Amino acid sequence: MASAELTPSEYIQHHLTNLTFGQHPDGSWGMAHSAAEAKAMGFWAIHVDTMLWSVFLGATFLFIFHRAAKRATAGVPGGLQNFVESIIEFIDTSVRGSFTAKNDMVAPLALTLFVWIFLMNLMDLVPVDWIPELAKLLGVHYMKVVPTTDPNATFGMSIAVFVLIIYYSIKMKGPRGFVGELALQPFGKFGMPANLLLEGINLIAKPVSLALRLFGNLYAGEMIFILIALLYSGGVFWSIFGGVLQLGWAIFHILIITLQAFIFMTLTVVYLDMAHQEHH
């Protein structure tokens, strides 16, 4: 429920501000106590809540799958084993359909990206006030619980994927082959400046599109949940109406959070497949 102490704009700003650690204008280091302070900390500030929830959800993923692996049996499988095996089979089928080269790293990477991003997206279904209000009771003023609504998280993942794309492009084609691909396609050696421009933009667009697509969809979803939460402070009628809207949007949002995790994973596999292909 929206806090009675905040105006609607202050409430929205509060829920969209990360718990930020960085350097204050006086040179000291510490947590930001307002959105303006967080902004003033600049590029090197750390979004503590994004780091915390990303690591926690990654550890949750590892714990669940490790537990399933330890309890795996060739006999009648339990519910957890069935669940994990269905996810692994789904990822394996998706990778086989998109990746034509041979690389034993790609399927585990795809599994990690899909499950980890899905868990981070899933936090968007937690009512927007529950965890921030609990954090306030513990003396923490800001707490964003959906890491994928922070471009630092989405760009961090996409840049890691980009590094892998560059690495495998050079490994499979050699430095000369990689540079030649950028310089000679699609117009041949006489169109080298245009080739470098087009291929360079195409290369840089991959991590940018991966990051912004995931961030934009989840940020928009979070904003809608915040706007719906404002209705709860408008009386009984608006509270009931807000509850219906929240339920409907949450049900629809299940599709969005799953689809965005799948798209990020699939594009990563496709980009790595392209990096493994040699052009002659």
ω into residue 25 within 30 of 0, thus cis? no
pLDDT at position 279: 60
Amino acid occupying residue 46:
I
Please state the three-class secondary structure of 50-72 as a single string: HHHHHHHHHHHHHHHHHHHHHCC
Residue of 86, 202, 209, 239 marked catalytic? 209
Question: Are 34 and 16 in contact, with CB atoms under 8 Å apart?
Answer: no
Give catalytic status of residue 213 as yes or no: yes
pLDDT at position 1: 47
Residue of 34, 103, 152, 213 marked catalytic? 213
Residue of 86, 217, 233, 239 marked catalytic? 217
Q: What is the mean pLDDT of residues 259-279?
A: 93
Give catalytic status of residue 209 as yes or no: yes
Give the residue from 153, 278, 131, 135 showing the smallest Cα distance to 215. 153
Note the pLDDT tens digit of each residue in 217-267: 999 999 999 999 999 988 899 999 999 999 999 999 999 999 999 999 999
Q: State pTM to two decimals.
A: 0.93
Alpha-carbon span 214 to 257, nearest angstrom:
9
DSSP sequence for 65-130: HHHHHHT--SSS--HHHHHHHHHHHHHHHHHHHH--S--TTHHHHHHHHHHHHHHHHHGGGS-TTH
Give catalytic status of residue 71 as yes or no: no
